[in-house]
Amino acid sequence: MMLEGIMSFYFEIYECLFTKTLERNKIKTVKLQFSVHKEKIKMTQKVMIVDDEHAIADLVEVYLQNDSYEVYKFNNAADALKCVKKEDISLAILDVMLPDMDGFTLCKKIREEYFFPVIMLTAKVEDMDKITGLTMGADDYVTKPFNPLELMARVKTQLRRYTKYNAGNEVKTNESEIDIKGLHINKESHKCILNKKELQLTPIEFNILWYLCERKGTVVSSEELFEAVWGEKYLDNNNTVMAHIARLREKMNEPARNPRFVKTVWGVGYTIE
């Protein structure tokens, strides 16, 4: 009897330890599955790099992969355009100097059909080069040499903004549409129609127009517009807003000197009357 009691005691201890081991393993399995699930979510965003400097392209690729982005890397524009048509690209990083086509032209071709964010990389520092890139449809501009961490921060900012304005899962309200003199703009569908013709606007251009339309009759400074749309601190001598306004007017077929919609109040800012 005593022997049976001892065996029963040890069996209960063994069973208890075994059960706890199973529970611990189950918890570990759930944690692992959750971790894998999170990684899959992160990997849904695809970033394309186009740069003929292999060392720079490889460096950017490493930083992007470290942040769990799916990376497509090319050294020429032709292969990049094929990729854009085949894959659902979330953001593109384009170098200006490419062997078969300059980055500005590549950006313009992309903008003919796609509206994902584009960041330009270049060794040129002149303001006109920046304005050229932005008027071609680029959303941001980084000059070489650059800090990879700064580039990653800009990538995240552009993706966050693009995702926010293209999520399409917000509750519909009466404030999601604006009509002004033949200009119809819908925030939820992200569509802008002028005189019954749909305008192909980039996310930045759309947000600029929406912000001004919301404040119809009010003059908005370049500083306010930049900080509201880009979500970053405005710096002096920043031509980004001016470049995007020029591109927006061009798409709206607006004369620069006497625009019908987006008007310049010299020394103050911009307004829609």
pLDDT digits (tens, 9 = 90+) for 90-119: 999 999 889 999 898 999 889 887 888 999
Give the chain's length.
Answer: 273
What per-residue confidence (pLDDT) applies to 197?
86
pLDDT tens digits along 134-170:
667 788 888 888 999 999 999 998 888 777 655 543 3
Are 232 and 258 members of one domain? Answer: yes
| Cβ contact 206:187 at 8 Å | no
DSSP assignment string, 228-268: HHT-S---TT--HHHHHHHHHHHHTT--SSS-SSEEEETTT
Q: Is the pLDDT of residue 174 over 70?
A: no
| Cβ contact 68:85 at 8 Å | no
Separation CA 245–CA 145 (nearest Å): 28
Q: Which residue is it, tokens 């005593």?
A: 2
Buried b (16+ CB within 10 A) or exposed e, 219-246: bbebebbbeebbeeebeeebebbebbbb
Are 25 and 59 members of one domain? Answer: no
In order of 146, 155, 190, the CA distances from 158 in angstroms are 17, 5, 17
Region for 237 from its dihedrals, namely left if φ exceeds 0, alpha if ψ lies in -120 to 50, beta otherwise: left
133 exposed, middle or buried (CB, 10 Å; 0-12, 13-18, 19+)?
buried
DSSP alpha helix (H) spans, 114-147 = 127-135
| Cβ contact 95:48 at 8 Å | no
The gap between the terminal CA atoms of the chain, to the nearest Å, is 99
CATH assignment at residue 87:
3.40.50.2300
pLDDT tens digits along 68-83:
999 999 999 999 999 9
In this prediction, residues 197-216 reach a mean pLDDT of 89
Are 23 and 134 members of one domain? Answer: no
Nearest to 48 by CA among 21, 79, 24, 27: 79
Are 130 and 218 members of one domain? Answer: no
| Domain span holding position 186 | 174-272
pTM of the prediction? 0.54
Are 73 and 29 members of one domain? Answer: no
Are 55 and 81 members of one domain? Answer: yes
